[in-house]
């Protein structure tokens, strides 16, 4: 089941990230209906209030919601430890303490104090055994059947193995592990139906009372979902809509995985207004990876979101981390390795295209510069500079025979003609360059050379210059100079 699920989900993610870039927010798009800071503060305040009132299950959900908003919140982590301590949930407290250690957000003094408190929980927790107040495994299973798995550790019974974080819970939800939300009653109504909790009601002598079962695993706060449908059976559009409703009601633990599942199944939902849930989901996975840096599934989601935003460098780093943390041969490892290869190939293509584009821009700028030089408008050039630079470029061309070098030489000679065209020597110099071009096979160069030489003869050249001009004209087949006007 797990292997087939990952193949299906990863294939869906691959199809999505390879075909889409993130779409920008459309003009007039609604402002998120909930703010990150306000909701974090509200969740923490609600948790403090419930904790002070002894409503441990409600407080646990409040602090888990706070951690869904900010997985590194030191206050939420400490308060959740308080809840586990008072509820006697030693395994969850121990797991949470490991998470706190990994995050490095608490001072050593506070961490040491929590270590001592954890030892006290272990020392004061009675050994497992059949007692009148201990529900059976089947009873506990039935009690938690209505709980909704989220992207963070969910509430479990005392002594039960805590749920895994991240996509393990998402997998459970997508593969049918989540029962209808209507099966999970509101915590307050549940307590009203079963009586006071075991912490306040005295135990009875005959059998496990309903109050004991209810106190062992109190149902968490829930947001009603369609009563006749399992969330895992909803269409992508229904999952998307339901995730928004859950988020608006502050149930972020269920909203985030449901939202991600909707996107993976239908990439067209990216264009819809998500009321800030996308940014919240990205923030969750990025923050959670800091407190759980060895969880490859968290980095997979970071890479997935980064690729949606066309942040290929960030996506590459995340997928490389997935490949490093996952086991060779696993579906997740194979997918991450494939994505690394694809992104690297894309980056090479992009770098090549970028280099070509930069070369094109440089060429266009150079052509513009040479056009200005040819028109006699070269920046910072004096009339004498044109012939000097033209001669230097022409000498280089005789060695490298590069078209760009000849273009540079011609530009300077044309610039010299533009600024000093009544100078016979300038025309003669330009004609010599065109004759060499003609010898090299340039079509039309011979005619240009002849025109320049004939024009030079009309400019009253000195005897030596006139002799050179006449000699070149004879060689081109135009021995008679034109008549002076």
Q: What is the largest CA-CA distance in the chain?
A: 136
Give the helix ranges, DSSP H, for 309-382. Answer: 312-325, 331-374
Residue at token pair 């706190």: 100
- pLDDT value of residue 177: 40
**Two tokens, residue 357:** 């584009």
**Two tokens, residue 117:** 């408190």
CA distances 202 to 51, 126, 193, Å, are: 21, 18, 17
Number of other CB atoms surrounding residue 322 within 10 Å: 27
Give the helix ranges, DSSP H, for 424-479. Answer: 424-439, 445-457, 463-476
CA distances 422 to 145, 426, 483, Å, are: 100, 8, 17
Label each residue of 195-259 as H, E or C: CCCCCCCCCCCCCCCHHHHHHHCCCCCCCCCCCCCCHHHCCHHHHHHHHHHHHHCCCHHHHHHHH
- pLDDT value of residue 230: 63
Q: How far is CA 480 from the centre of its chain?
A: 76
Domain ranges for the chain: 2-15+30-123+144-191+210-293, 367-476
- pLDDT value of residue 122: 60
Predicted structure pTM score: 0.46
- pLDDT value of residue 467: 92
Question: Residue 163: helix, strand or coil by DSSP?
Answer: coil
413 within 8 A of 387, measured Cβ to Cβ: yes
- pLDDT value of residue 178: 35
The pLDDT profile of the chain, 485 residues, written as one tens digit per residue, is 444 444 444 444 444 434 333 333 333 333 344 456 777 888 899 889 999 998 888 888 888 888 877 877 888 888 888 998 888 888 888 888 888 877 666 777 778 888 888 888 764 444 444 433 333 333 323 322 333 333 333 333 333 333 333 334 443 433 334 333 333 334 433 333 333 333 333 344 444 444 333 333 444 444 444 433 566 678 888 888 888 888 888 888 888 888 888 888 886 777 777 778 888 888 888 888 888 899 999 999 999 989 888 899 999 999 999 999 999 988 999 999 999 999 999 999 999 999 999 999 999 999 999 999 999 998 888 888 998 999 999 999 989 989 899 999 999 999 999 999 899 999 999 999 999 888 888 888 999 999 999 999 999 999 999 999 999 998 887 544 444 44
Q: Per the CATH hierarchy, to which homologous superfamily does domain 367-476 belong?
A: Tetratricopeptide repeat domain (1.25.40.10)
Helix 2-19 to helix 331-374 angle, to the nearest 10 degrees?
10
- pLDDT value of residue 251: 83
In which region does residue 171 sit, left (phi positive, over 0), alpha (psi from -120 to 50) or beta (all else)? alpha
């Amino acid at each position: 089941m797990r292997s087939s699920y990952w193949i299906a989900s990863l294939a869906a993610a691959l199809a999505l990230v390879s075909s889409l870039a993130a779409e920008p927010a459309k003009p007039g798009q609604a402002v998120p209906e909930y703010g990150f800071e306000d909701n974090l503060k509200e969740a923490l305040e609600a948790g403090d209030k419930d904790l002070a009132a002894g409503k441990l299950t409600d407080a646990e959900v409040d602090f888990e919601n706070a951690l869904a908003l900010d997985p590194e919140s030191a206050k939420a982590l400490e308060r959740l430890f308080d809840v586990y301590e008072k509820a006697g949930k030693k395994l969850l407290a121990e797991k949470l303490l490991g998470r706190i250690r990994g995050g490095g957000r608490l001072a050593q003094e506070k961490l040491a104090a929590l270590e001592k408190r954890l030892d006290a929980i272990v020392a004061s927790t009675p050994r497992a055994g059949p007692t009148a107040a201990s529900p059976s495994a089947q009873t506990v299973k039935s009690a938690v059947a209505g709980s909704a798995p989220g992207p963070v550790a969910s509430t479990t019974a005392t002594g039960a193995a805590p749920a895994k974080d991240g996509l393990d819970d998402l997998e459970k939800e997508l593969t049918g592990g989540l029962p209808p939300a209507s099966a999970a009653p509101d915590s307050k109504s549940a307590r009203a139906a079963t009586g006071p909790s075991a912490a306040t009601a005295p135990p009875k002598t005959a059998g496990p009372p309903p109050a004991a079962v209810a106190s062992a695993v109190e149902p968490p706060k829930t947001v009603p979902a369609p009563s006749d449908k399992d969330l895992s059976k909803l269409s992508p559009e229904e999952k998307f809509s339901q995730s928004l409703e859950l988020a608006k009601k502050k149930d972020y633990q269920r909203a985030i995985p449901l939202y991600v599942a909707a996107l993976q199944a239908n990439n067209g939902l990216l264009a819809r207004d998500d009321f800030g849930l996308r940014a919240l989901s990205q923030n969750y996975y990025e923050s959670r990876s800091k407190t759980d840096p060895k969880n490859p599934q968290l980095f997979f989601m970071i890479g997935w979101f980064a690729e949606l935003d066309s942040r290929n460098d960030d996506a590459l780093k995340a997928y490389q981390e997935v490949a490093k943390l996952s086991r060779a041969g696993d579906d997740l490892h194979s997918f991450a390795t494939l994505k690394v290869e694809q992104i690297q190939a894309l980056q090479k293509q992009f770098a090549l295209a970028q280099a070509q584009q930069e070369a094109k821009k440089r060429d266009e700028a150079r052509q513009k510069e040479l056009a200005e030089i040819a028109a006699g408008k070269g920046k910072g050039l004096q009339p004498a500079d044109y012939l000097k630079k033209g001669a230097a470029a022409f000498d280089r061309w005789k060695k490298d025979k590069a078209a760009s070098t000849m273009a540079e030489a011609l530009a300077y000679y044309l610039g010299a003609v533009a600024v000093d065209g009544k100078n016979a020597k300038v025309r003669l110099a330009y004609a010599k360059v065109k004759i060499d071009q003609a010898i090299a096979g340039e079509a039309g160069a011979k005619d240009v050379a002849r025109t320049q030489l004939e024009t030079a003869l009309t400019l009253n050249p000195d005897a030596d210059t006139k002799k050179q001009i006449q000699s070149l004209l004879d060689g081109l087949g135009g021995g008679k100079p034109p008549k002076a006007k």
